[in-house]
Every structure is written in structure tokens, then in C-alpha cells.
Amino acid sequence: KAGVTQTPRYLIKTRGQQVTLSCSPISGHRSVSWYQQTPGQGLQFLFEYFSETQRNKGNFPGRFSGRQFSNSRSEMNVSTLELGDSALYLCASSLGPLNEQFFGPGTRLTVL
Amino acid sequence: QKEVEQNSGPLSVPEGAIASLNCTYSDRGSQSFFWYRQYSGKSPELIMSIYSNGDKEDGRFTAQLNKASQYVSLLIRDSQPSDSATYLCAVNRHSGAGSYQLTFGKGTKLSVIP
């Protein structure tokens, strides 16, 4: 069974631009969660989608948004990029809210 | 109080020894508990999950959960240099309206010395 895939793997953007990251979950998984990982803050929860509905959102500004499609694939968008948005963005999929989450390889975003 | 706390380490153990990693959590309503291993530059990899009090063993790994003490641990027996990584404790807690949120500790860096 194929794992979680994320595209692109690396991105370099400049301040003020926007970016869209994509995540394809493991086949059969309907829950997709997004996390931001930085050396100082660790892994921080962004949001979770299940059956195209955002069920949970972390403490991030409104510049961070996401969506999930009917095939469970998910995208997250960051608008008006700031230097502090440089991080590893991780997507994880699971069967349901209490089940094990499996991570994709991540997208490394660098904001210049 | 932080929601999920781990000793940041580094924790150094000799090859062949037992490595003991600990984690405490603040939300008594937490339902499920996980240990992830993360190598430098890679994404977290799930190594253990535990849902009820007691021990759960999988190969060289044993997870221990004590809900009364709000404590979860991971033991790695016969530690190998390839076990050198950061270990993340994650706790799935209720976040309202039937939803749950996986909250991570900041991780313990383990170094196994040959």
C-alpha cells in the first residue's frame, strides 16, 4: 500500500507571496492532518480534515488555510508569507480521529 | 503546564543497553498515545501505539501507559546505533465537539554509542 505523498518536497518563496502544498493520504484514509515543524517550536498542529470538513484547527493565523477534496486529498495554503513561515510542513493521514497517524515526507518551505 | 512534556535530552546509552524515554501529559481525557521516531531531516515514523493501561511490546520496543499518573514511556532494549534519533511522544486528546487533536512533545534526542 502506498504511503502518504506530499508535493512539492521543497519550495523557496519570498515574503508576501502565497504557497499551496498538496497531500495525498494512504488509500482508504479519510482523515488528513497538517503540522508545522520548526526547530524552536517542534511539531505544531495546523488543522484536521475528515470527509471534506475541517473538524479541528490549531492556533495559527487566518493566513493558513486548507481544504479536502472528495478523494480525501488535501491542500493547504499560506498567504502573505512571512520569514517565520519557513518550516517543514507535514501531512499525516489516518482512518479516523483516534487512529494512528502516518506522516508523509514533508514539504520544506523556505521564505526569503 | 505544557500539554505533553518530554526530557529533551540528549540521552546517551551504550550499544546493547536499555534506553528509557519518558513522557507526561496534562489532559486526563486523553484517549490514545503514540511514539514516533524521527531521524534528522526526515519525517516522523510511527513505532508504537498504546490505548490502555499497561505494557505493549513489539520486538525490541515496549510502550508503557499509566493513565492515573498521566505518564507514558518507551523502552528500547538492546539499543543499536541505528536507534539514534529523536523520539516524539504524541497524545490524542479531546478538543471539543467530537473532535480530537494529536499533540506532540518536543522530543527526546537519543544517542546510542557503539
d(C-alpha A55, C-alpha A24), whole Å: 18
Name residues 4-43 of chain A within 8 A of B (Cβ). Answer: 33, 35, 42-43
Q: Which amino acid is at B67?
A: K
Among A25, A33, A7, smallest CA distance to B90 is for: A33
* The pLDDT of residue B97: 67
* The pLDDT of residue B1: 61
Cβ–Cβ below 8 Å for B43 and A101: no
A69-90 pLDDT, tens digit per residue, is 999 999 999 999 999 999 999 9
- Omega prior to B10 cis, within 30 of 0: yes
Nearest CB neighbour to A101, from listed B31, B42, B102: B102
CB neighbourhood size of A1 (10 A) = 5
Cβ–Cβ below 8 Å for B100 and A97: yes
Nearest CB neighbour to B101, from listed A45, A88, A90: A45
DSSP character for A26?
P
Residues of B in contact with A98 (CB under 8 A): 31-32, 92, 100
Give Cα separations from A96 to A93, A102, A106, B42 (angstroms).
Answer: 9, 12, 21, 24
Q: How many helices and strands (H and E) does chain B possess?
A: 0, 11
- Res B114 pLDDT > 90: yes
**What's the whole-number average pLDDT of chain B?**
93
d(C-alpha A3, C-alpha A106), whole Å: 12
